Structure 1
């Protein structure tokens, strides 16, 4: 309700006010660099000031119309300011009722929260000040603020394997007539887990890159199965599982001599990789999605090659369908299998060789 009052507008009984609206974000926000919205950064607060430079401004109001990825949260407790939601996207604040006199200024803080239901690339808020008095310069009664946004998805990529260390045995005979997966070598299995954050995401891409052979063609890891769990997860792996059809017919394997010395890792830069591509659809907030990868270690290659220790690196990466808007803090992980070969002769340092020649 309104308290009755008498207008004081001078002898002409016409009040000509000059309201000046000033709006600033409480936290320093660039209007060009995106704000990263996260579970710990969901507030958008504005300091609003309305100053009257001329005659009395009666029944002054400030309206804030905001985009659908924001919702009104609160207004600071300030004498003479009362805000109410007048529409689903508009807040109207009664400021300094009944009158803001010449030279007076009213300030208040209004806060919005970023919505996790509407993930838009920009937040928009349009502020406007008006009163029942005539306005001399309406141009400075408006402020339209655009804030570019990105969202921290809070997605966590993790992995767990059945083993992380393998010892090659030089004394074992190399199996070349492969009739079962057991003839290849021991199992090396790992599970990839994608854990979602505070809001659902319609589409995620997960890739698993396996080092399957050396540059010279010696086999490293042999894919025997891919299983998924949790929601709508699908992997394009049919052509990659058991590519030699060992379960159907025997395979005659051959292993050429190869040196891994001077190399620390067999990864997708130093070896040939095959990539498993998975799609996660309509993921829910705070949920886990699993992809289990089953392989066999080609003992023949690792027993035959020359090295002391080497790591087989399988690369994991998860990405959103809109990576410029929906960010993942740590999108890559490695699954590491360390292989050692005891009994292999170590390299003799060049200095030792030179010293032996001189001494001899």
Structure 2
């Protein structure tokens, strides 16, 4: 109906007393092509023909289009096109390996967009745009870089005319033939994988720990004496393996220290997260053998961890002939050793035992009991590992044995023992009637709360003893030549004792607790 050579459709709506006119828009046939350096791109050669001084691997191509010969008679003499090329992310990928030189500093360097205006006789000429592409990541050269090329017309949408108004010229609103307006193409890298460009590698992983083994061939890790060292060997008996990596999965309590190559020359290891270490073997990892050693620090192990498990697995984007030998699992039993040293002393070199004799009922204050004696027990952890908990069991001689229910007081405990020192963390578990059982007034400096741990009662009696067991002395000649009587007593032999326990927590190697 508009004489543009395309059929239109007129539909009558009888009940609505109206007609509907469907007009066909003219179709512009566009021919597109892409040519250039899109194959055998050497990922190890910097620069390219159009930018030889580049520090990055690059390649270039021409994206071209032209219209067919029927264009002049059907559409306006001016056409505006929107040109767009997107690398990789058009498929939904979040990551892209290349960037365009013309948009390298933009927010989307993997996308090129521009508007093209074509006039008069140029409507029937071929129009090309050259693009230089730079490879910013060589981690995956096994797979081709995919591009999407699209052309679309730039035109204003027609306004719906009012009743009696002239219809817009449909010839000014053409559409593009989408068969050629959209094109997908790829750029492939040079690979040493034969004429079929399919790389068939054959990776095998071997791994072992350098720690000691038991008679049953189980690994043992003695904490504090050594790092955990892991030896890994990767062998490729096939074609080059692209994007070849080894992933080491380990407990989060192990921290990666470093690596050492013992055979081979390409290796780059870095943690992916707290439990995974990735080692890149080179791209590609050629046929041959690579051996390296990894070191981990086990100081972060918790007391609940009694064993460690590590998994070592190789991966590649090439076709691996056999995957059964790509995974190794190792387990090590954890042994914690701590050598403890216990020593004790009294701050007073000589203590006078005697003075005015008073009965228990006559004593009210601490200083009436007798001379104060401070006992100090020192625990040293000589390592190599920390001691999570140390129980020190003490037998305390509180009375002289006399064969009766109650004996005479010997060492009267006036305060709860305290744990101090470098280790610093700890406490003592005391039973009732072990600390100040006669309830004398004690200086607040030495007073403390007694833990109510059930223990046998041992309260002194205020009644007078008629008979006492005599502990026989022995004669000792002093330095001045005089003879002195010395009495030796111990728990079960001349002295009555009660038991209590002091607990020291988290005593690190080479630290002391008092």
Instruction: Report the TM range for the smaller structure's normalisation.
Output: 0.5 to 0.7
Q: CA deviation at 1:74?
A: 0.7
1:235 aligned residue: 428
Change (3 A) 1:33 1:61: closer
Q: CA deviation at 1:146?
A: 1.6
Distance in 1 separating the partners of 2:193 and 2:328: 28
Residue range with higher mean Cα deviation, 219-228 or 173-182: 173-182
Q: 1:226 aligns with which of 403, 416, 421?
A: 416
Distance in 1 separating the partners of 2:464 and 2:220: 55
In structure 2, runs of 5+ residues without a counterpart are: 1-136, 142-188, 443-459, 475-486
Distance in 2 separating the partners of 1:283 and 1:27: 25
Change (3 A) 1:97 1:269: farther
Matched, 1:177 2:363: no
Q: TM-score, normalised by structure 2?
A: 0.45
Q: CA deviation at 1:245?
A: 4.7
Matched, 1:210 2:396: yes
Distance in 1 separating the partners of 2:202 and 2:209: 23
Q: CA deviation at 1:199?
A: 9.1
2:160 aligned residue: none
SS in 2 for 1:228: coil
Matched, 1:257 2:499: no
Is the contact between residue 176 and residue 253 of structure 1 (CA under 8 Å) also seen in structure 2? no
Q: CA deviation at 1:124?
A: 2.3
1:84 aligned residue: 270
Q: Deviations over 1:272-327 (max 9, x none)?
A: 4312334556889987654xxxxxxxxxxxxxxxxxxxxxxxxxxxxxxxxxxxxx
Q: CA deviation at 1:80?
A: 0.6
Matched, 1:137 2:322: yes
1:59 aligned residue: 243
2:6 aligned residue: none
Q: Deviations over 1:213-234 (max 9, x none)?
A: 5494555433232342656654
Residue range with higher mean Cα deviation, 109-118 or 199-208: 199-208
Q: Superposed, which structure 2 residues align to 1:1-360 within 5 Å?
A: 1-2=137-138, 6-10=190-194, 13-30=197-214, 32=218, 34-38=220-224, 41-77=225-261, 79-101=265-287, 104-116=288-300, 118-119=302-303, 120-152=305-337, 157-163=342-348, 175=357, 177-178=359-360, 179-180=362-363, 186-193=371-378, 205-213=391-399, 214=401, 216=403, 218-219=407-408, 220-228=410-418, 230=420, 233-237=426-430, 239-245=433-439, 251-252=462-463, 254=465, 255-258=468-471, 266-267=490-491, 272-279=496-503, 290=514
Is the contact between residue 202 and residue 320 of structure 2 (CA under 8 Å) also seen in structure 1? yes
Q: Deviations over 1:62-103 (max 9, x none)?
A: 1111102101111115621111222221111111431221xx
Distance in 1 separating the partners of 2:206 and 2:492: 56
CA RMSD of aligned residues (A): 4.3
Q: CA deviation at 1:50?
A: 0.5
Q: Deviations over 1:230-249 (max 9, x none)?
A: 56654343520233456699
Change (3 A) 1:174 1:90: same
Distance in 1 separating the partners of 2:494 and 2:242: 76
Change (3 A) 1:73 1:144: same
Is the contact between residue 175 and residue 183 of structure 1 (CA under 8 Å) also seen in structure 2? no
Distance in 1 separating the partners of 2:331 and 2:493: 44
SS in 2 for 1:7: coil
Distance in 2 separating the partners of 1:209 and 1:88: 48
SS in 1 for 2:498: strand
SS in 1 for 2:497: strand
Q: CA deviation at 1:138?
A: 1.8
Is the contact between residue 69 and residue 114 of structure 1 (CA under 8 Å) also seen in structure 2? yes
Residue range with higher mean Cα deviation, 73-82 or 213-222: 213-222
Between the two structures, name the one with larger relative contact order (CA 8 Å, sep ≥ 6): 1
SS in 2 for 1:223: coil
Distance in 2 separating the partners of 1:173 and 1:112: 65
Is the contact between residue 351 and residue 373 of structure 2 (CA under 8 Å) also seen in structure 1? no
**Paired residue total:** 282
Q: Deviations over 1:122-144 (max 9, x none)?
A: 22221111222222332221111
Distance in 2 separating the partners of 1:271 and 1:20: 72
SS in 1 for 2:324: helix
Is the contact between residue 336 and residue 385 of structure 2 (CA under 8 Å) also seen in structure 1? no
